[in-house]
């Protein structure tokens, strides 16, 4: 019995030993497999390490291509040439100290760079000659591209017209907003946030500074811009489709794409950008608008203008102006004169015989200009019969999309549809033929008048190109008197570009002080044939309605003195609405304009056509390194020959004047002055305007 038990005990022990050996073998097999997998992973990572390298590995936190250097620990980027830094900025806060990898190992860091933030975006940079091309492409819908440039250490110009217009740009404050054109006064009079600075009727996507830097943003970018917001000293760009006026039917991520170029001076960078990014004028507009005077009905009669009022006004002006023997005179009917917007006619209830009225105006030696818009009233004949074929529609293209104008609900013509373009041009031609109209003053083509929700026949990725398409449609061949109130990449068209409507006060906030910065900005942007707003500005009531009252005499005089040197003089209230002293000042200014100023303006037109140079120039134009000249916002040059320094402050009889490099002759005091100096407390009577002629042209 004991033997049997012993045998059974031995068998049990043997079984247990075999089980332990089996488990050990399985464990060893698993361990070997895991070690093998670890080896494979290590080998793969080692093999790929040269292709994808974390930029923070081994303490690497900087990357450079050409003049551009990034510090990824802070998000700061710097453009420098040698030891000189010419531009600084900062990337989106989301990316600062965030893990990033190089897209590929074989990139030429001297001319290109590609980086990838795996959760956010890809950055591509290429360098060509003296320009760096930057492109941010989001890889996540949570990321909004956002780059800012420091406004310090340089003075900035260009971009757009502004409601609070200053010169240079770093002295303004513009909150982040869509970079699209606006009718400034319409928005300020109809919106609750009327005190907010906003971009005006002319918008272009390039900026230049006194370090010789130029920045151009791609037209397809859904661009938002801020300038020195909350005194940040930053010019910021953002690309965003969220709650944005930029259409995005394909649900794309917003790409921010721009180019930074560098030249030796601000004048050279302006020439470079002009050559690379916008077109030279294809011809000249009709010079007679410069040679004469425009007499507008805006702010004087509307909405009460009638045929009898207009003819009486025109007869009075004709009698007064005939002794001056001007080469041209224009009556501009800038009010609601048609039955409805979209009806190309004269309202018979106010103009009982419009054909006869135009004939009388011609007898009084006036050519007739009428205002025109891209609007079609819902009560017009055109809307009732052709709306579906003419107007921008809702998203489903089922019905016209509408916007609210002073006179009620309006549709907006679809300038991307050829049948609409043909119809609109036919209506204009019929007005010229039927009524004897000379030309048109177009307004209402700013982007803010497009309905918030709309669709065009041909999609416009950038709604700002509506202005380009509109101007292309209404621009005839060279030699036109056409005026337009909007502009975007439309420098090549031979039309006159109007500055925004100004208000009848002295300040930078759309008053007299804003006129010179406004005209200078248009010139920098390539719009040389400019029409300043009516002399004295427009008077408005507290609720934004037209007050129909004439400007105060002193403001009117100082505004008239400034305008005498501008390409076009436009009046609503006439000098004869004031006393004899005002009329005498007008007499002297017209004589001065005919004898000395007009020849320079006409010469400037020809130069603008050939070289793109502004007719009205900043005083740094021939002295681009002069720090004083770069800051002056209350003087300007007519060509290179005349410097004008008008009085722009109420009650002032003297002012400080800066003369840039050159030899100058003071036309008030008949004395010679050397350039590169301030004339302090320079005496200027109410009857005078300070101007200086250059005694020799700088080479």
Q: What is the pLDDT of residues 644-659, one digit of tens each?
A: 999 999 999 999 999 9
Peptide bond before residue 577 is cis, with ω within 30 degrees of 0: no
Mean pLDDT of 334-358: 92
**Lowest mean pLDDT, pick from 58-67, 215-224, 338-347, 510-519:** 58-67
Which has more pLDDT, 304 or 467?
Answer: 467
- Residue 273 belongs to what domain range? 58-277
603 plus 638 within the same structural domain: no
CATH number, domain at 681? 2.60.40.1180
Evaluate if residue 529 carries a pLDDT over 70. Answer: yes
Residues 631, 549 share a domain: no
| Cα separations in angstroms, 248 against 182, 210, 220, 237 | 21, 37, 11, 19
Last residue of a domain, one of 214, 245, 277: 277
Angle at the Cα of 224 from the Cα atoms of 125 and 452, rounded to 5 degrees: 135
Q: Is 385 helix (H, G, I), strand (E, B) or coil?
A: helix
Q: Is residue 519 part of a domain?
A: yes
Is 584 part of a structural domain of the chain?
A: yes
Average pLDDT over residues 53-74: 68
Pull the structure tokens for residue 458: 């041909």
Same domain assignment for residues 262 and 317:
no
Residue 53: burial class (beta carbons within 10 Å; 0-12, 13-18, 19+): middle
Residue of 307, 295, 298, 387 lying closest to 346 (CA atoms): 307
154's tokens: 């340089």
Mean pLDDT to the nearest integer, 505-533: 95
* Count of structural domains, the chain: 3
Query: Is 207 in the same domain as 248?
Result: yes
Q: Is residue 443 part of a domain?
A: yes
- 573-626: pLDDT as tens digits: 999 999 999 999 999 999 999 999 999 999 999 999 998 899 999 999 989 999
Judged on CB neighbours under 10 Å (0-12, 13-18, 19+), 552 is middle
Other Cβ atoms less than 10 A from the Cβ of 101: the count is 17
CB 247 within 8 A of CB 460: yes
Asked if the model's pLDDT at residue 353 lies above 70, the reply is yes
Within 10 angstroms of residue 427's Cβ, the number of other Cβ atoms is 15
The answer as to whether 20 is a domain residue is no
501, 503, 506, 511: CA torsion to nearest 10:
-30
Residue among 567, 247, 190 at smallest CA distance from 393: 247
Token pair 């009460």: residue: 304
Q: In the prediction, which pLDDT does 548 show?
A: 77
Asked if residue 260 and residue 347 are part of one domain, the reply reads no
DSSP per position, 346-389: --TTT-TTHHHHHHHHHHTT-EEEEEE-SEEETTSHHHHHHHHH
H/E element, 133? strand 131-138
Q: Identify the pLDDT of residue 5.
A: 38
pLDDT at 49: 41
- Alpha carbon distance, N-terminus to C-terminus of the chain: 130
CATH code of residue 156: 2.70.98
How would residue 55 be classed by pLDDT, with cut points 50, 70 and 90? very low
pLDDT of residue 3: 40
420-449 mean pLDDT: 94
Same domain, 541 and 675: no
Looking at the structure, do residues 589 and 543 belong to the same domain, yes or no?
yes
The answer to whether residue 401 sits within a structural domain is no
Predicted confidence at residue 694, as pLDDT, reads 94
* CATH number where 495 lies: 3.20.20.80
What's the CA gap between 616 and 619, in Å, rounded?
9
261 and 184, same structural domain? yes
Task: Out of 588, 612, 636, pick the residue that ends a domain.
Answer: 612
- Among 97-106, 171-180, 518-527, the minimum mean pLDDT is found in 97-106
**Contact between residue 168 and residue 631 where contact means Cβ atoms under 8 Å apart:** yes
CA 636 to chain CA centroid, nearest Å:
21
pLDDT at 188: 73
Domain-located, residue 500: yes
| 142 closest CA partner among 125, 123, 124, 117 | 117
**Does 16 score more than 60 pLDDT?**
no
- pLDDT value at position 23? 63
Q: Are residues 85 and 225 in the same domain?
A: yes
Does 608 share its domain with 640? no
The number of C-alpha atoms within 13 Å of 6 and in the hemisphere containing its C-beta is 3
Higher pLDDT among residues 299 and 686, named by residue: 686
Burial class (CB in 10 A: 0-12, 13-18, 19+), 379: middle
Predicted structure pTM score: 0.89
Q: Give the span between the Cα atoms of 671 and 666, in whole angstroms.
A: 5
* Residues shown for the chain: 699
| 494 & 634 share domain | no
Q: Is residue 676 part of a domain?
A: yes
pLDDT at 58: 35
Q: In the listed set 277, 307, 339, which residue is the last one of a domain according to the structure?
A: 277
Q: What is the distance between the alpha carbons of residues 331 and 362, in angstroms, rounded to a whole number?
A: 10
Query: Chain-wide mean pLDDT for the chain?
Result: 88
pLDDT single digits (tens) 361-419: 999 999 999 999 999 999 999 999 988 889 999 887 678 999 988 878 999 999 999 99
Asked whether residue 380 is domain-assigned, the answer is no
If you average pLDDT over residues 264-268, what whole number do you get?
Answer: 94
Residue in 635, 533, 645 with CA at minimum distance from that of residue 201: 533
pLDDT band at 29 (very low <50, low <70, confident <90, very high): low
Same domain, residue pair 504 and 548:
yes
Q: Measure the CA–CA gap between 494 and 369, rounded to whole angstroms.
A: 17
> pLDDT, tens digit, for every residue of 103-145?
875 556 678 889 888 889 999 999 998 999 999 999 988 899 9
Percent of the chain at pLDDT exceeding 70: 88
Give yes or no for a contact between 627 and 658, defined as CB atoms under 8 angstroms apart. Answer: no
Q: With contact defined as beta carbons under 8 Å apart, do 624 and 637 qualify?
A: no
């Amino acid at each position: 019995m004991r033997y049997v038990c012993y045998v059974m005990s031995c068998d049990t022990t043997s079984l247990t030993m075999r089980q332990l050996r089996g488990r050990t073998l399985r464990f060893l097999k698993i361990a070997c497999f895991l070690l093998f997998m670890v080896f494979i992973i290590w080998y793969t990572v080692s093999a790929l390490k040269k292709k994808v390298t974390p930029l923070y590995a081994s303490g690497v936190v900087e990357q450079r291509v050409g003049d551009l250097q990034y510090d990824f620990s802070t998000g700061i980027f710097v453009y420098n040439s040698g030891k000189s830094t010419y531009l600084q900025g900062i990337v989106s806060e989301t990316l600062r100290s965030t893990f990033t990898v190089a897209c590929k190992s074989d990139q030429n860091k001297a001319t290109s760079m590609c980086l990838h933030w795996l959760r956010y975006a890809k950055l591509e940079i290429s360098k060509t000659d003296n320009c760096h091309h930057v492109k941010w492409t989001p890889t996540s819908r949570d990321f909004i591209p956002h780059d800012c440039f420091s406004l310090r250490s340089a003075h900035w110009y260009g971009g757009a017209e502004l409601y609070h217009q200053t010169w240079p740009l770093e002295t303004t404050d513009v909150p982040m907003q869509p970079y699209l054109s606006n009718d400034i006064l319409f928005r300020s009079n109809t919106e609750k946030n009327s005190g907010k600075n906003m971009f005006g009727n002319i918008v272009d996507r390039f900026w230049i500074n006194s370090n010789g830097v130029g920045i151009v943003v791609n037209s397809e970018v859904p661009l938002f811009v801020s300038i020195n917001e909350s005194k940040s000293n930053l010019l910021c760009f953002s690309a965003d489709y969220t709650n944005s006026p930029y259409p995005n039917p394909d649900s794309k991520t917003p790409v921010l794409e721009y180019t930074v170029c560098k030249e030796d001076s601000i004048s050279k960078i302006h020439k470079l950008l002009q050559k690379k990014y916008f077109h030279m004028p294809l011809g000249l507009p009709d010079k007679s608008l410069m040679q004469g005077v425009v007499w507008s009905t805006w702010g004087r009669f509307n909405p009460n203008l009638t045929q009898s009022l207009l003819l009486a006004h025109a007869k009075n002006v004709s009698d007064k102006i005939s002794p001056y023997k001007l080469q041209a005179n224009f009556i501009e009917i800038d009010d609601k004169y048609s039955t409805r917007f979209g009806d190309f006619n004269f309202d018979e209830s106010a103009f009982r015989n419009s054909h006869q009225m135009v004939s009388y105006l011609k007898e009084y030696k006036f050519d007739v200009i009428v205002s025109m818009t891209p609007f079609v009233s819902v009560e017009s004949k055109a809307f009732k019969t052709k709306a579906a074929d003419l107007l921008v529609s809702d998203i489903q293209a089922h019905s016209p999309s509408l916007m609210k104008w002073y006179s009620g609900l309006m549709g907006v013509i679809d300038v991307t549809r050829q049948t609409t373009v043909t119809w609109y041009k036919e209506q204009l031609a019929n007005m010229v033929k039927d009524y004897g109209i000379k030309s048109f003053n177009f307004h209402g083509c700013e982007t803010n008048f497009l309905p918030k929700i709309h669709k065009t026949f041909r999609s416009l990725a950038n709604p700002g190109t509506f202005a380009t398409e509109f101007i292309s449609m209404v621009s005839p061949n060279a030699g036109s008197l056409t005026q337009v109130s909007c502009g975007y990449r439309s420098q090549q068209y031979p039309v006159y570009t109007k500055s925004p409507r100004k208000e009848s006060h002295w300040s930078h906030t759309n008053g007299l002080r804003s006129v010179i910065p406004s005209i200078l900005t248009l010139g920098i942007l390539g719009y040389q044939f400019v029409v300043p707003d009516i002399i004295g500005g427009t008077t408005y009531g507290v609720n934004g309605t037209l007050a129909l009252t004439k400007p105060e005499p002193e403001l009117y005089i100082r505004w008239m003195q400034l305008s005498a040197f501008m390409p076009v003089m436009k009046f609503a209230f006439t000098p004869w609405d004031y006393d004899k002293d005002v009329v005498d000042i007008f007499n002297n200014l017209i004589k001065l304009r005919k004898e000395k100023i007009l020849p320079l303006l006409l010469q400037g037109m020809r130069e603008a056509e050939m070289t793109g140079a502004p007719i009205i120039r900043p005083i740094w134009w021939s002295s681009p390194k002069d720090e004083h000249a770069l800051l002056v916002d209350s003087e300007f040059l007519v060509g290179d020959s005349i410097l004008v320094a008008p009085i722009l402050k109420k009650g002032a009889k003297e002012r400080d004047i800066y003369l840039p490099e050159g030899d100058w002759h003071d036309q008030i005091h008949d004395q010679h002055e050397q350039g590169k100096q301030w004339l302090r407390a320079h005496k200027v009577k109410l009857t005078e305007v300070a101007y200086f002629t250059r005694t020799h042209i700088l080479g």
